[in-house]
């Protein structure tokens, strides 16, 4: 039996990607931290710093284990969807 909590409807993913792209902007990041267990993930943390990201949405366990990096919350898609749902109902 599949763990349904790990999967999201494609329509939700498309909607989120569209929303993210509508707010996207280019940033220059001169350096990256050495925080993540997987060194290949550090560039994502650097980008979060450079653009003062509120959230980093990922399925990467190494990043999710950090939970937060500076002012950025690191969340799974389902955690983020719950937050968005909560905000939308206020």
> What's the pLDDT at 55?
94
Q: Is residue 17 part of a domain?
A: no
Residue 21 sits at the vertex; the CA angle it makes with 53 and 85, to the nearest 5 degrees, is 70
Q: Is residue 15 part of a domain?
A: no
Q: Is residue 7 part of a domain?
A: no
Rounded to whole angstroms, how far apart are CA atoms 58 and 66?
12
Q: Is residue 65 part of a domain?
A: yes
Q: Is residue 10 part of a domain?
A: no
Give the count of domains, the chain. 1
Domain that holds residue 37: 28-88
Please check the confidence at residue 5 and state whether its pLDDT lies above 50.
no
Q: Which residue has the higher pLDDT, 20 or 67?
A: 67
pLDDT grade, residue 89 (50/70/90)?
Answer: low
> What's the pLDDT at 66?
96
Lowest-confidence pick of 5-14, 28-37, 66-75 = 5-14
Burial category of 69 from C-beta neighbours within 10 Å (exposed 0-12, middle 13-18, buried 19 and up): buried
> What's the pLDDT at 29?
82
| Cβ-contact 60, 41 below 8 angstroms | yes
Q: Is residue 16 part of a domain?
A: no
pLDDT (mean) for 50-70: 94
């Amino acid at each position: 039996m599949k763990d349904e909590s790990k999967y999201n409807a494609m329509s939700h993913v498309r909607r989120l990607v569209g929303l993210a792209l509508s707010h996207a902007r280019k940033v220059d990041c001169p350096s990256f931290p050495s925080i993540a267990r997987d060194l290949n993930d550090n560039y994502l943390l650097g980008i979060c710093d450079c653009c003062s990201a509120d959230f980093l949405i990922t399925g990467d366990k190494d990043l999710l284990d950090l939970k937060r990096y500076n002012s950025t919350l690191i969340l799974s898609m389902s955690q983020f969807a719950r937050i968005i749902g909560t905000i939308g109902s206020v």
